[in-house]
Amino acid sequence: MEKATHWLNRALLGHNPTMRSIIQDSTHLYYHASFPDHSLESPIPPASAPSSAADPVPNNDDTEALVRHYLNLGPNLTDLYEQWSKADANFKKKAARFAGVRVLKQDAWEALVGFICSSNNNIIRISQMMAKLCNHYGPLIGYVGMTPYHDMPSPSVLADPKVETHLRQLGFGYRAKYLYQTAVLVSQQHEPGWLDSLRNPESPVLGQKPSVAGEMQPRGREGYRVAHDALLALQGVGPKVADCVCLMGLGWGEAVPVDTHVWQIAQRDYKFSKGKHSSLTKATYDAVGDRFRSLWGKEAGWAHSILFTADLRAFSERLAVKLEANEIKRESEDLKLESQLESVVAAGKVIKREVDDGEPKRDRSIIMLESTRIKRRRRL
């Protein structure tokens, strides 16, 4: 069994503002909840060390439900992969080796902030920016070991006029202005809960019952189009960022974010390289999304994310290393089996000779048992 090596620590807010630590191996998902002592003041910046007080465990611990919700464990991936594979031969070819890819159900505000930070950026720097935002402006949730963890700061906190200058000092560049202006728009020009009002009703926040989201159309359901257009009014939000937030923060599965990498996939595998779609214009952006929605339906964004993952060099290289390791392991197992086979065959000859010399017939059954037990495994 593949061993788990890295814990994912997240400040996931269910009924309790609690640190949830998650890890998985090849067969199981494990989680741990660290409940803060609410009788203690949460210092910002955090104290140099965690409190020695024991973590109280509340009666309404919703950790398992929250983990299932956040990791989007409800849908049956086998059924979805089969559906997408039947509709698209390219998906069937590329995605088979990338089983288990899921789209998280992130908090809408967190997703919006994260994707504004993603503009002309890489994963490492985006993660660093999100950590700086939480550490400097977010409420302390708790500690894992000696490391403090903070929740995302609210829009009203980031709407302070001093925030933009400070974020520039922290290395956010032009994104500092977008984050501040968007925080002002969300907190001062919209009602509380406005972002969540744009959610897909079939994918509500934890604890709410789902409801019907309407008929699927070539360009997506009406609620998705409304949410997408509303997000475009925010600072630092273009079509791709709006689709990312719709998909991962608002639950609109038909949202298909199209960046240069996805455009390359569309050109190479879906014939978007000629005629009026020879460059990534607004019309081409919409056409790529429409094409993928026609193939994969209302979870087109999920299927697109799998192809995106399969095409990334970092993931393909990781898969190549894993496949090479598995091949070495199989070769080692084959050599071991060959050695066992030679030993047993030799033993069988001795036993058969003894049978010919008049030994009891039960020895013949020994030969059959050995032959069955060491049946050689076919190489994949």
Known catalytic residues? Answer: 240
Please give the torsion angle defined by the CA atoms of residues 229, 108, 174 and 279, in that order, rounded to the nearest 10 degrees.
-50
| Cα(21)–Cα(38) distance, integer angstroms | 19
- For 271: left if phi > 0, alpha if psi spans -120 to 50, otherwise beta; the answer is left
Beta-bridge partner residues of 24: 29
Task: Say how many CA atoms lie within 13 Å of 335 toward its Cβ.
Answer: 5
| Cα(119)–Cα(125) distance, integer angstroms | 11
CB 336 within 8 A of CB 376: no
Q: How many CB atoms lie within 10 A of CB 118?
A: 20
Encoded tokens for 2: 């593949």
| Cα(154)–Cα(178) distance, integer angstroms | 15
Encoded tokens for 262: 């996805």
DSSP string, 216-228: --TT--HHHHHHH
- For 275: left if phi > 0, alpha if psi spans -120 to 50, otherwise beta; the answer is left
Encoded tokens for 78: 């086998």
Q: Which of 1, 19, 2 is nearest to 10 (CA)?
A: 19
Please give the distance of CA 103 from its chain centroid, rounded to a whole number.
Answer: 5
